[in-house]
């Protein structure tokens, strides 16, 4: 029997066996989005998938294939849709993809799903997708599906943040392509990080509102890096990963009584 945490690497019989034992399934939600000149477009897929794989080993779960496109990048959290390569879904399309995956997993016996988000803008459309998926399942007579939905970056301790940002944490939105994501990429896929291309045109200085169309002078750094990536390291990525895995696994054990 193949022993992989990645659901798609199993045969249907192996999948069925794990699901009959009530294995929770983690669904990573990603994006194909610019992450500055030093990181690839796949950061928001690589990071939640990497966290999910470690969490799955901890809790005896499986990782479903990540959704590789996300809801539209917003200027104040991801640089916006103007950057070449940022390829996104409309909110309702994204929500319906989440809905369909939850419904089909449920139809095949999965009863515990963790929706693990890796792209800031996905949050509310993901809530909608979960809601629609559960509604469809209830209408199909399946009322015992449980879904835990989360943003992986929220699972970090204060001491870790203080260690990473001695001058104060800039906040999750501005962390786009910055210290946290760059450090986690150095841990998971150092081959995809170009440290010599880290720009220094940040941090962003946005007003507290959105404007459409986006004005020239809105405080968006031309590089697409919203805060500061200097000082990123695989060691810092390891600190973050340890917190993410420990705290997310604890939440799953608590809510799913494992
Ligand atoms: Zn990202
Ligand atoms: Mn993103």
The residues pairing with 63 across neighbouring beta strands, listed in sequence order, are 6, 26
Residue 244 among the catalytic residues = no
**With 0-12 CB in 10 A as exposed, 13-18 as middle and 19+ as buried, what is 206?**
middle
33 CA distance to ligand 2 middle (Å): 6
Distance between CA atoms of residues 199 and 230, nearest Å: 8
Instruction: List, in sequence order, every residue forming a beta bridge with 213; answer none if it has no partner.
Output: none
Looking at all shown ligands, the one closest to residue 177's CA atom is 1
Selection from 70, 74, 137, 125 nearest residue 100 by Cα: 137
Give this prediction's pTM: 0.97
Walk along the chain (258 residues) and give the pLDDT tens digit of each residue: 678 999 999 999 999 999 999 999 999 999 999 999 999 999 999 999 999 999 999 999 999 999 999 999 999 999 999 999 999 999 999 999 999 999 999 999 999 999 999 999 999 999 999 999 999 999 999 999 999 999 999 999 999 999 999 999 988 889 999 999 999 999 999 999 999 999 999 999 999 999 999 999 999 999 999 999 999 999 999 999 999 999 999 999 999 999
Q: Output the pLDDT for position 162.
A: 96
Of the bound ligands, which one is closest to the alpha carbon of residue 77? 2
Residues 6+ apart with CB under 8 A from 112: 22, 23, 24, 25, 145, 146, 147, 148, 256
Contact 26, 111 (CB under 8 A): no
């Amino acid at each position: 029997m193949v022993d992989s945490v990645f659901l798609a690497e199993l045969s249907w019989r192996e999948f069925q066996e794990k699901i009959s034992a009530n294995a929770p399934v983690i669904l990573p939600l990603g994006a194909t989005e610019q992450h500055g000149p030093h990181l690839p477009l796949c950061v928001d897929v690589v990071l939640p998938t990497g966290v999910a794989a470690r969490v799955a080993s901890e809790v005896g779960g499986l990782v479903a294939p990540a959704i590789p496109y996300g809801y539209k990048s917003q200027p104040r959290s991801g640089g916006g849709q103007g950057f070449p390569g940022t390829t996104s879904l409309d909110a309702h399309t994204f929500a319906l993809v989440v809905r369909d995956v939850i419904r089909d997993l449920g139809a095949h016996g999965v009863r515990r799903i963790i929706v693990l988000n890796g792209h800031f803008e996905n949050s509310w459309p993901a809530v909608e997708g979960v809601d629609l998926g559960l509604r469809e399942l209830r209408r199909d007579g399946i009322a015992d599906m449980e879904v835990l939905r989360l943003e992986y970056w929220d699972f970090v301790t204060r001491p870790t943040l203080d260690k990473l940002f001695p001058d104060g944490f800039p906040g999750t939105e501005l962390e786009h392509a910055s210290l946290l994501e760059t450090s986690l990429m150095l841990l998971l896929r150092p081959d995809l990080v170009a440290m010599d291309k880290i720009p220094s045109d940040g941090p962003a200085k946005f007003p507290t509102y959105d404007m459409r169309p986006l004005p020239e002078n809105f405080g968006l750094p031309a590089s697409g890096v919203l805060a500061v990536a200097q000082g990123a390291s695989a060691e810092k990525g390891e600190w973050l990963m340890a917190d993410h895995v420990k705290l997310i696994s604890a939440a799953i054990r608590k809510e799913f009584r494992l």
